[in-house]
């Protein structure tokens, strides 16, 4: 499996799908389709809308036809099919013929979770992610438990310990509060 | 007119509702064995850039995809068998990440060069990436042998994962700048996942090496076994000194020397791959038109 091609320089402008908002004349109706799409919820973390999760990348509308662009959180995210079906059905119920497309670039980051989303996570006992690591140069190996300032969403204590970097969904780590002793989940930074 | 999918936040809803509510007239059943029901590259421009050879790009994506697919299956064999619940969940999550990478890479290979996809009967419901996963023979898989051999014990599984994640992460960091924007995007996304995989394996490697006499004995034995296939992995991923820096860091803090074993001779595959594929593919092959 040798490289058949030479890698080229990173290009900031390279993106598979642009995040355009569509032509100006359709803004009014596009907002309507967008507002419907924005309210569809994540099937695995239903306290979050797709917009709050940051996976809703674009809603383009032409008459009754709507193209929604979403991006996967993780490559193997099993919720994509449900998100797609929910978008098609919700928009269909509002009279739109919707199609869902995928954007792989730029890759989703937990930095895209909105402040409203972070509050919803905390309100449901899930710790919100800190800032995602910035990549510049080779990615450092971390042999000690990931250093995070995680606050217990149950009692507010900052004395928490990592149980596992992997949890019930791809995007969450398991933590435990050493004060109230409750286990909780933390959306891990990517 | 469709009926609304129940709100998953509602007590009557579940994550499966989306799979049950189909509004197309007539038969709305789907291919029964895939992980998803739509093109994972829907809407993505899969035009191969002019400076690339489509067949070479497809072959390269197949190799990267097959490595992920085969190791994903091996890791998933730990599901319900791991030493404790946390590791069971961790290994399954890593398997899921790799399965996602495999799906995207196999789909990218098929879009670049449709000739790589096995021909199935007219009207087959099998998507291209599943045709590649379930309907190729072992000799057509392009994965390295390191990912296909049996898991061994937990220590050997960790040793393999450390070598694989270290080499693949370094390669994906480079591939994020590949001139095929689809491969570059898959790699950039994979980098984030592989970073967690490498850290996970590195921590367990250190823990087992500095743990009990028995855990260290098992780790050294597992590392020596998997090291036979490390050279092939390095070559396949064009691994450079950056890989050695990371690996030597883990070995040094763990007090472990590089095993002195000669690379396993030969090429192609071991018998382990045929056995694994027999299990992985049997249901899809028994019901190639399986719908639900």
ipTM for the complex? 0.82
From the candidates A83, A104, A120, which should be mutated to test the interface with B, based on the most B CB atoms within 10 A? A104
Is the per-residue pLDDT at A28 higher than 70? no
Query: Does any CB of chain A come closer than 8 Å to the CB of residue B9?
Result: yes
SS3 B109: helix
CB count in 10 Å sphere of residue B101: 28
Whether A180 and chain B come into contact, CB under 8 Å, resolves to no
Task: Pull the structure tokens for residue B18.
Answer: 């989306």
CATH number for the domain harbouring residue B109: 1.20.1260.10
Q: Determine the Cα–Cα distance for residues B146 and A1; give it in Å rounded to an integer.
A: 14
Q: Nearest-CA neighbor of B236 among B58, B57, B60, B110?
A: B60
In this predicted model, which residue has the larger pLDDT, A125 or A6? A125
Taking 50 as the pLDDT cut, the residues of chain B under it are: 1-4, 21-25
What is the residue whose two structure tokens read 């992460």? Answer: B169
Cβ density class A130-163: b for 16+ within 10 Å, e for less: beeeeeeeebebbeeebebebbbbeeeeeebebb
pLDDT of residue A7: 39
Bond from prior residue into A106 cis (ω within 30 degrees of 0): yes
Nearest Cα of chain A lies from the Cα of B15 at a distance, in angstroms, of: 5
Tell the residue number behind the tokens 């507010």, with chain if given.
A156
Please report whether residue B29 resides in a domain.
Answer: no
Contact indicator for A36, A91 with CB cutoff of 8 Å: yes
Query: Do A100 and A84 touch, CB atoms closer than 8 A?
Result: yes
Among B71, B247, B219, B70, CA closest to B156: B219
Give me the residues paired with residue A66 across strands.
A61, A98
State the pLDDT at residue B9. Answer: 53
In Å, how far is B81's CA from the nearest CA of chain A? Answer: 16
Flag whether pLDDT at A14 surpasses 80.
no
State how far the Cα of A126 lies from the Cα of B186, in Å rounded to an integer.
28
Domains of chain A: 24-102 (3.30.300.130), 148-190 (no CATH)
Quick one: closest CA in B to A168, which residue? B89
Q: What is the mean pLDDT of residues A10-36?
A: 50
Across the interface, which of A17, A76, A89 has its CB nearest the CB of B5? A89
What's the gap in Å between the CA of B162 and the closest CA on chain A? 11
Residue A119 has pLDDT above 90, yes or no: yes
Looking at beta carbons, which residues of chain A come within 8 Å of B37? 81
Q: Name the DSSP letter for residue B46.
A: -
**Which residue among A7, A105, A141 sits closest to B175, beta carbon to beta carbon?**
A7
Q: Output the pLDDT for position B7.
A: 55
| CB–CB contact A93 B96 (8 Å) | no
**B66 in contact with chain A, both atoms CB, cutoff 8 A:** no
Task: With respect to residue B183, please indicate whether it lies within any of the assigned structural domains.
Answer: yes
pLDDT for the residue B289: 82
- Judged by average pLDDT, the poorest of A115-124, A134-143, B107-116, B168-177 is A134-143
Establish if B203 belongs to a structural domain: yes
Chain position carrying tokens 């032409």: A62
Q: Does B79 touch chain A (CB under 8 A)?
A: no
Spell out the SS3 assignment of A85-115. Answer: HHHHHHHHHCCCEEEEEECCCCCCCHHHCCH
pLDDT in the model for residue A4: 43
Strand order in the sheet with A56-62: A56-62, A65-70, A97-102
Domain containing B59 equals: 54-286
pLDDT > 90 fraction of chain A, expressed in percent and rounded: 68
pLDDT for position B1: 38
pLDDT band at A38 (very low <50, low <70, confident <90, very high): very high
Mean pLDDT (chain A, rounded): 84
pLDDT surpassing 80 at residue A9: no
Residue of B nearest to A42 (CA): B8
Q: What is the pLDDT of residues A85-103, one digit of tens each?
A: 999 999 999 999 999 999 9
- What's the confidence (pLDDT) of residue B29? 66
Distances (CA, A) of B49 to A56, B181, B185: 27, 8, 14
Show the beta-strand stretches assigned E in chain B: none
Residues of B in contact with A102 (CB under 8 A): 40-44
Nearest CA in chain A to B105: A75
Q: What is the pLDDT of residue B202?
A: 97
CB A103 within 8 A of CB A17: yes
- Kindly tell me if the per-residue pLDDT of A29 is higher than 90: no
CB-based contact B109:A183 (threshold 8 Å) = no
Q: Is A7 helix (H, G, I), strand (E, B) or coil?
A: coil
3-state secondary structure of B74: helix
- For CA atoms B146, B151, B152, B158, the dihedral sign is positive
Q: A81 pLDDT band (50/70/90 cuts)?
A: confident
pLDDT, mean of residues A107-114: 96
A143/B253 CB distance under 8 A: yes
- Residues A167-183: tens digit of each pLDDT: 988 899 999 999 999 99
| Type and span of the H or E element at A175 | strand A172-177
pTM for the whole structure = 0.87
CB contacts < 8 A, A to B, total 212
pLDDT of residue B124: 82
What pLDDT, on the 0 to 100 scale, is given for residue B104?
A: 97
Say how many domains are in chain B: 1
A107–chain B nearest CA distance, Å: 5
CA distance B189 to chain A (A): 5
Q: Which of residues 147-166 of B touch A (CB under 8 A)?
A: none
* Torsional class of B170: left (φ above 0), alpha (ψ -120 to 50), beta (otherwise): alpha
From the list A74, A141, A143, the residue facing B100 with the nearest CB is: A74
Return the residue of B nearest to A136 by Cα: B173
* Residue of chain B minimizing CA distance to A77: B100
**Residue B70 near chain A (CB below 8 Å):** no
Q: Quote the CA–CA distance of A143 and B180 in Å, as a whole number.
A: 33
A window 48-67, beta carbon within 8 A of B? 67
Give domain status of residue B2, yes or no. Answer: no
Q: What is the pLDDT of residue B18?
A: 53
């Amino acid at each position: 499996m040798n490289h058949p091609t030479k890698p080229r320089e990173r290009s900031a402008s390279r993106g598979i799908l642009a995040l355009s908002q569509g032509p100006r004349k359709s803004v009014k109706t596009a907002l309507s389709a967008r507002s419907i799409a924005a309210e569809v919820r994540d099937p695995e973390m239903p306290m979050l809308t797709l917009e709050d999760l940051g996976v809703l990348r674009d809603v383009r509308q032409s008459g009754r036809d709507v193209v929604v662009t979403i991006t996967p959180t993780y490559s193997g995210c099993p919720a994509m099919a449900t998100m797609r079906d929910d978008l098609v059905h919700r928009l269909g119920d509002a009279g739109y013929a919707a199609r869902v497309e995928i954007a792989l670039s730029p890759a989703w980051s937990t930095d895209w979770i909105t402040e409203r989303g972070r509050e919803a996570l905390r309100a449901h006992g899930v710790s919100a992610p800190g800032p995602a690591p910035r990549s510049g140069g080779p990615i450092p190996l971390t042999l000690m438990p990931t250093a995070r300032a995680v606050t217990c969403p149950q009692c507010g204590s900052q004395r928490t310990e990592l149980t596992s970097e992997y949890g019930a969904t791809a995007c969450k780590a398991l933590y435990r509060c050493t004060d109230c002793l409750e286990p909780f989940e933390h959306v891990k930074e990517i | 007119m469709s009926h609304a999918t129940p709100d998953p936040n509602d007590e009557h809803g579940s994550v499966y509702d989306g799979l049950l509510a189909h509004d197309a007239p007539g038969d709305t059943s789907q291919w029964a064995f895939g992980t998803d029901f739509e093109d994972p590259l829907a809407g993505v421009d899969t035009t191969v850039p002019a400076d690339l050879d489509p067949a070479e790009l497809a072959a390269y994506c197949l190799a990267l995809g097959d490595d992920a697919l085969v190791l994903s299956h091996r890791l998933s064999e730990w599901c319900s068998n791991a030493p404790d619940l946390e590791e069971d969940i961790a290994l399954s999550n890593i398997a899921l990440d790799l399965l996602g990478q495999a799906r995207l890479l196999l789909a990218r290979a098929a879009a670049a060069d449709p000739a790589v996809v096995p021909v199935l009967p007219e009207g087959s419901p099998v998507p291209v990436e599943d045709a590649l996963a379930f309907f190729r023979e072992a000799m057509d898989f392009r994965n390295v042998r390191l990912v296909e051999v049996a898991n061994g014990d937990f220590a050997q599984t960790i040793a393999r994962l450390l070598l694989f994640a270290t080499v693949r992460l370094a390669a994906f960091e480079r591939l994020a700048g590949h001139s095929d924007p689809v491969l570059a995007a898959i790699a950039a996304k994979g980098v984030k996942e592989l970073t967690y995989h490498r850290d996970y394996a590195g921590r367990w490697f250190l823990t087992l090496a500095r743990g009990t006499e028995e855990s260290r004995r098992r780790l050294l034995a597992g590392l020596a076994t998997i090291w036979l296939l490390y050279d092939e992995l390095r070559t396949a991923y064009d691994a450079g000194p950056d890989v050695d820096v990371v690996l030597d860091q883990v070995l040094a803090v763990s007090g472990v020397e590089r095993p002195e074993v000669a690379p396993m001779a030969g090429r192609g595959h071991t018998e382990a791959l045929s056995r694994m594929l027999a299990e992985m593919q049997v249901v899809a092959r028994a019901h190639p038109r399986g719908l639900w």
